[in-house]
Structure 1
């Protein structure tokens, strides 16, 4: 807004008052960086004066100002953390109340709260809000902003306009600071049960964060994998019924007559010698031998003339029609190939 200066006799821009930083109805940005204040004509000295004890403003983080004297809302705390991260990037102005997506994003429990996890505490109850930045950033934890570094920044998701880490990454950052086994288990289970992500993606992030050496995390992961498998099995049942496939024998063990045990499968059509295995595995280095055994079992079954259809929980969730077509094709193809070896089918 331009005002007439009594000394200049003409039009000149004067520093904005606190009122002019807001619209008449009180809307508008209430968290600004020192750089943004300078763009409004308010220098460091004036900002410091307004942030004095009892003043109309407050500095909530280094270089980040709250333009009212009361406690910040949860939204204001989120924006303050993002602005703090953005304001520490030379020559990169912060815009739109948050940091550029490639520079910072909310992670940890705050991110899970934004993803609407019922097991995550409310945003206002968090002493600190974790913000994910590149490992090369020179940024320190301060106040309610906890800096988390990563060598590779994930692609953020926008939740109510806020850049937020994907659920698997947010879970890993949250779990890294938790010691309560029940809380960890609730968070991991809700991630799968709530359809936020697959178990394997969570375990992958936990493994990369080197958290799988903590007993309470290992116990929660075991429960998570069991939850993921149960959900995948349910989707397989629904797929067979919905797409009109013939009923298989469910959850059976295969064995050669008088011979060795061949292993268990999730579904088996004996007339067509077609088996389905749900691969709910997760990449845990200590289980490399388990995965090798899995591969050898599958190879052995195929050498005996059985067709093994490999499905993942994610495919069953995201592409059931495609998976039904794969199964139908395998069942129909059985008519054109030599019969598989006779195997004994036992419940498991």
Structure 2
């Protein structure tokens, strides 16, 4: 061979090295970056071939059924916006085995399963996996990927490298596809009972999704609110006991002697004229009217010299010690105030 003899073409790298990589789900753009042509992709995905196409532009590099992790990443690869022409937003340059997905996250039942809901079905049993994307994305549902649109994407939470919608949003997207009243009730109840979120955030998400017109959802919400109030009341009892506050009278109504009803309270210290009211409002269509009622009651009581401490279930859950300090301060400050008007305390 002399210097005029043409060199033989370089031998292409065997395609099996791709299937041996950390992740065996790749997009068309990623395969092309590895030097795989469209013709080769088609050949690899022939009947009985070593690859298969899971979704448009997304390939599984082995012949067997995909794992639940592979399905999740395939759906995200299909839905995620590419960060640059020909370069998908997965995987990251600094962490080659940690995918980064732009403007896409898992939601619905799949997200609830990843959040640890025992009442959500196993991932492999789900025919469809919901993926949340911005409303203006030009993307259609395909295969196992069901596209869900939103005006504003929430901040995703990461579970084993998979971005998932927060529990309230995931619940709303799951409930929108469920007609089984029992399944809806179990999901909403577990959300509160297991401490995933507070009832108000769930109801707000359901309201924003326009689901509160469905009778079976309304029934489940009523059960949810009752569950949430019971949990909040139990936390309030524990706050008083565990933080050494004096015992109040529990669940009472106040009235002026021979006068009108002033409202119900969750806890009341008659000697100090200090009251605690749990704010368990559910943000529905009448939220403004309900808040006005709360505000009017509070203003009326305070004009009578009664200090009202509003506590939300979330604050009781996340900062019980701080809420106990607020109540203790109100009790200690009672001696510096003018005596409160005399009121009648009745059991509620």
Root mean square deviation of aligned Cα: 1.8
CA distance in 2, matches of 1:180, 1:272: 50
- Is the Cα–Cα contact under 8 Å of residues 86 and 99 in structure 1 kept in the other structure? no
Shift of 1:86: 2.3
Counterpart pick for 1:71 among 41, 65, 72: 65
Query: Any gaps of 5 or more consecutive residues in structure 2?
Result: 92-96
Q: Is the 8 Å Cα contact of residues 154 and 166 (structure 1) preserved in structure 2?
A: yes
Deviation at 1:98, TM superposition (A): 8.0
Q: Are the structure 2 counterparts of residues 343 and 57 from structure 1 closer, same or farther at C-alpha, using a change threshold of 3 Å? A: same
What is the Cα deviation at residue 295 of structure 1?
1.7
My pick for the range that moved more, 287-296 or 199-208, is: 287-296
Measure how far apart 1:93 and its partner are: 1.5
Aligned to 2:38: 44
Check conservation: 1:98, 1:162, Cα contact below 8 A: no
- CA deviations on 1:8-28 (whole Å, 9 max, x unpaired) are 269x4x4332321144xxx62
Match of 2:185 in 1: 185
Q: Extract unaligned runs of 5+ from structure 1.
A: 1-5
Describe the SS at the equivalent of 1:266: strand
| 1:269 and 2:264 correspond | no
Pair 1:264–1:201, CA change in 2 (3 A)? same
Name 2:332's counterpart in structure 1. Answer: 332
In structure 2, how many angstroms separate the alpha carbons of the residues matched to 1:9 and 1:258? 106
Pairing of 1:242-253 with structure 2 (within 5 A): 242-253=242-253
1:86 to 60, 73, 80: 80
Query: Which aligned pairs between 1:190-339 and structure 2 lie closer than 5 A?
Result: 190-339=190-339
Any conservation in 2 of the 1:85–1:99 contact (CA below 8 Å)? no
Q: Residues 119 and 323 from structure 1, CA distance in 2 versus in 1: closer, same or farther, beyond 3 angstroms? A: same
Maintained 8 Å contact 1:119/1:186: yes
Q: Which residue of 2 aligns with 1:8?
A: 7
The CA distance in 1 between the partners of 2:211 and 2:98, in whole Å, is 30
Q: Deviations over 1:199-241 (max 9, x none)?
A: 1111111111111111111111111111111111111111111
